[in-house]
Amino acid sequence: MNYYNEIKDVLVKNEVYQKVKDYSKNKSDLNAYFEVGRLIVEAQGGEARAKYGNKLIKEYSEKLTKELGKGYTYTNLSRMRQFYLLFQKVATVWQQFNVLTWSHYKLLLTFTNIDEIKYYISISSKLNLSVRELRERIKSNEYERLGKHINIEESKVNTLIKNPILIKVKNKNEKLTEYALHQSILENMDDFLKELGMGFAYIGNEVKIKIGDNYHYIDFLLFNYIYNSFVIIELKVTEMRAEYIGQVMKYIGYVNKYIRKPFHDETVGVIICRKENKYVMEFCTNPNIFATTYQTI
């Protein structure tokens, strides 16, 4: 089998398809590059020997560049091979989300963890992330900050709460009061909601409620339209303490009684602290209260 001619034929057909049917060229690119990757691996003697085929890729690159022009460098052909090796066992993943571009996938080729790749593909598809936006999320270690491997299709609000939460401030080296941290979030509310995860909408801050004869103030009251639930956010610039749990439990009780409707899911409380205290959280019996930390940027 002449693998070079096969690869050339795939790429030529893709270039023709791009010119004739520009509206679907992205899908054509992905299919073509996946097929080229497969042919390169076969030409090198299979996946087990693929990493020893650099000389062959260089030879193909020089001939393709000479015959077809730019775009078929050694680096690009290597990426196509890597694309195939990564997705051959889960090809349905990238086919399902073919709204992503080749530029999106190139960012993911450095990962070997399939769960991590699936996460970024899914979040990019659901939120229509640009390449720049996806790059920023990867740079912030978003997947690692989730703390666990999740199935995004079956996740709940708490599984999408990252640790730490990144909060934009004017001076990240300055020691913040709760008021200053609160104001920083207000000034960058869109970024904060995106950082929390998918589906969060702002309702109010310093929400005044009355419990017995005393007034209290909920730092932030949000609603998650994906999970159909109210979300209480409490900010603390100290280590996690047991009394914070009791405070949020009271707020959840109030929201459930006076704000939440029967068609809403259970209210969720999130305590964002400066430092963790997992020992304290071990004694929290309310499954709808979650704790995380923040980091200023």
Buried b (16+ CB within 10 A) or exposed e, 32-53: bbbbbbbbbbebbeeeeebeeb
Domain span at residue 35 reads: 3-145
- The last residue of one of the domains, among 145, 178, 207, is 145
Measured CA to CA in angstroms, residue 226 lies from 57, 129, 195, 264 at distances of 46, 18, 15, 11
The reply to whether 134 falls in a domain is yes
pLDDT given at position 110: 85
pLDDT values of the chain reduced to their tens digit, one per residue, 297 residues? 788 899 999 998 888 877 765 556 678 888 899 999 999 998 887 644 555 568 889 999 999 999 998 889 999 999 999 999 888 866 556 555 567 889 999 999 888 888 898 889 888 988 889 999 999 999 999 999 987 646 555 566 766 789 999 999 988 888 889 999 999 999 999 999 999 988 999 999 999 999 999 999 999 999 999 999 999 999 999 999 999 999 999 999 999 999 999 999 999 999 999 999 888 888 888 889 999 999 999
110 phi-psi bin (left φ>0, alpha ψ -120 to 50, beta other): alpha
pLDDT given at position 138: 96
In a shared domain, residues 67 and 170: no
Longest pairwise C-alpha distance within the chain:
85
In a shared domain, residues 272 and 210: yes
In a shared domain, residues 92 and 180: no
CA of residue 221 relative to chain centroid, distance: 23
Residue 223, both tokens:
């609603």
Residue 127, both tokens:
């939120």
CB half-sphere exposure, 45, CA atoms < 13 A: 8
Rounded to whole angstroms, the Cα distance separating 244 from 250 reads: 10
pLDDT given at position 283: 82
In a shared domain, residues 276 and 184: yes
Q: What is the CA radius of gyration of the chain?
A: 25
- The last residue of one of the domains, among 96, 112, 145, is 145
The reply to whether 287 falls in a domain is yes
| Tokens 């004739």 -> residue | 20
pLDDT given at position 48: 46
Query: What is the CATH classification number for the domain harbouring 231?
Result: 3.40.1350.10
Measured CA to CA in angstroms, residue 54 lies from 58, 106, 165 at distances of 6, 19, 42
**Alpha-helical runs (H) found in the chain:** 3-20, 25-43, 54-68, 74-87, 91-96, 102-108, 114-127, 131-139, 142-145, 178-187, 189-196, 242-258, 278-281
Nearest one of 194, 192, 223, 221 to 205, comparing CA atoms: 221
Name the domain count of the chain. Answer: 2
Stated pTM of the model: 0.80
Measured CA to CA in angstroms, residue 173 lies from 170, 240, 274 at distances of 9, 21, 14
- The last residue of one of the domains, among 89, 118, 145, is 145
The reply to whether 152 falls in a domain is no
